[in-house]
Structure 1
Amino acid sequence: MRKIVAKGDGVALAELTDTDHEWLTEHNDNAFDVDRDGRDMPFQAPNHRLAVTTEDGGELLGQVNWHPVNYGPSYGCVAWNFGRQLLPHSRGKGIGTEVLRLLVRHLFDTTDVDRIEGGTDTTNVRAQRSMEKAGFTREGIIRGAQVRDGKRQDLISYSILRTDPRP
């Protein structure tokens, strides 16, 4: 059984089991995955992951991940950058918004970082609405941030600060 880290309205964040990565890979449609170009990353930031499950932890619905990004020479310049991936059968049901609310609460409750940020594809209108419903502020376009299907793709940047009001 998965260990639940945070619970919300019909959904939970849980520790991934050894077999979850494989299962998620098999059931993902890779709708917004980026191309791998074969080059090694010039640095490796720690990447944290949790499963998105039903409230009881029984069914996998997707996953979330986050890693630190640095905007200056001190801890006060660190933000969490997150990603989320919902399986096709989990999309369009409001789960993504609740997942973001849980992730924000979890990160602000368990870390001292004051900024959480993420981006979404300019064509992913559902994700944009979900971020706004979860209290994130749209910041702008990050031009050519990802490569998908051999083409540079723009992202829309969103963030939430510890001091921002929550919906």
Structure 2
Amino acid sequence: MRTILARGKGVALAEWTDGDGEWFDEHSDGVFDVDRDGRPLPFTAPIHRAVVTTEDGAEVLGVVSWHPVTYGPSYGCLAWNFGRALLPSARGRGIGTEVLRLLVRHLFDSTDIDRIEGSTDVTNTAAQRSMAKAGFTREGVVRGGQLRDGERHDLISFSILRSDVTDEKLTASQIGRAELASGDG
């Protein structure tokens, strides 16, 4: 049984377990996977991962990850950068939007970082609509931000601030406390 981090309308974010990455890679179509060029990154940042599951945690629908990025030398300059991928069978059902709402709620409830950001391919209009529906603001184009199939691809960047949540861009149910555990009663 997986530990549920946050639960929403038909989906949940659950703790990452051994083998989840390999399982997801075997079942994904990899449509937006980036090239791995073999060079190590010149820095390390902790990468946090969760699986997207059905509300009961029984079926894996996708993955989400987040890591810190900084725009200056102080803690106040930190942001969370996230990535998400849904299995082909889970796309087109509104799950991506609900996943983002759950992730926003989880990160703002469990940390004191005030900015969450993410980006998507310029051709991935479904993901762009999903981010907007989840309350994210479109910021602009990240030119050549990803290397896929040996070519540079532009991305569209989005962000949400903690203060956006209180601006009623998100519903009251999305602002509520994250569910870290549940049981009978």
TM-score (norm 2): 0.89
Alpha-carbon distance between aligned partners in 2 of 1:29 and 1:17, rounded to the nearest angstrom: 21
How far the C-alpha of 1:19 sits from its partner, in A, is 2.7
> Which amino acid in 2 is paired with 1:40?
P
Question: Are 1:83 and 2:83 matched, yes or no?
Answer: yes
Matches within 5 A, 1:59-138: 59-138=59-138
Alpha-carbon distance between aligned partners in 2 of 1:153 and 1:22, rounded to the nearest angstrom: 25
Alpha-carbon distance between aligned partners in 1 of 2:35 and 2:23, rounded to the nearest angstrom: 21
How far the C-alpha of 1:38 sits from its partner, in A, is 1.3
Alpha-carbon distance between aligned partners in 1 of 2:150 and 2:16, rounded to the nearest angstrom: 31
How far the C-alpha of 1:22 sits from its partner, in A, is 1.9
More helix by share: 2
How far the C-alpha of 1:17 sits from its partner, in A, is 2.1
Aligned residue pairs total: 167
SS in 2 for 1:163: helix
Once the two structures are superposed, residues 79-123 of structure 1 have per-residue CA deviations (whole angstroms, 9 ceiling, x without a partner) of 000000101100000000000000000000000000000000000
Partner of 1:14: 14
Unaligned runs of 5+ in 1: none
Partner of 2:41: 41
Question: Are 1:156 and 2:156 matched, yes or no?
Answer: yes
Superposed CA RMSD in Å reads: 0.7
TM-score (norm 1): 0.98
> Which amino acid in 1 is paired with 2:45?
A
SS in 2 for 1:25: helix
Moved over 4 A (4+): none
Unaligned runs of 5+ in 2: 171-185
Once the two structures are superposed, residues 27-73 of structure 1 have per-residue CA deviations (whole angstroms, 9 ceiling, x without a partner) of 01100011111111111110000010000000000010000000001
